[in-house]
Amino acid sequence: MSPKTKYESSTSLADVTRPGEPMTHTELPTLRSILKHGIYIQEKKLMEEDVDRRNYSISKLVKDVRVEVVNCLQRANSQFSPPVIITDKYTERKIQVA
């Protein structure tokens, strides 16, 4: 049996999270659902606007995902709003680190 090459032994993020899908608004977002939603947004931009995922900046992707995450959390608790509990900058940083 031949040794695995770097390409064969590594896994991509899409393999771990499965294909991208929109965030469900009936449940609180988990890290996995946030990553899936990010992949979904990249695929959607590729199909709708013909934007290559390499040209779609991480900061723009994080801002798009943050809006959906904050909306889901605000539906769960109306007091969860950026000035009171969490700032937009902090939310973007946490999503980008993931």
**For residue 40, is it within any domain?**
yes
- pLDDT exceeds 70 at position 13: no
Count other Cβ atoms within 10 Å, centred on residue 82. Answer: 14
**For residue 76, is it within any domain?**
yes
In the prediction, which pLDDT does 73 show?
83
User: Residue 17 — pLDDT band, cuts 50, 70, 90?
Assistant: low
**For residue 19, is it within any domain?**
no
What b/e sequence results for 20-44 when a residue is b if at least 16 CB atoms lie within 10 Å of its CB, and e otherwise?
beebeeeeebeeebbbbbbbbbbee
**For residue 22, is it within any domain?**
no
Give 65-75 pLDDT, tens digit per residue.
888 888 888 88
**For residue 63, is it within any domain?**
yes
**For residue 11, is it within any domain?**
no
Give 43-90 pLDDT, tens digit per residue.
888 888 877 767 778 888 888 888 888 888 888 887 777 666 677 788
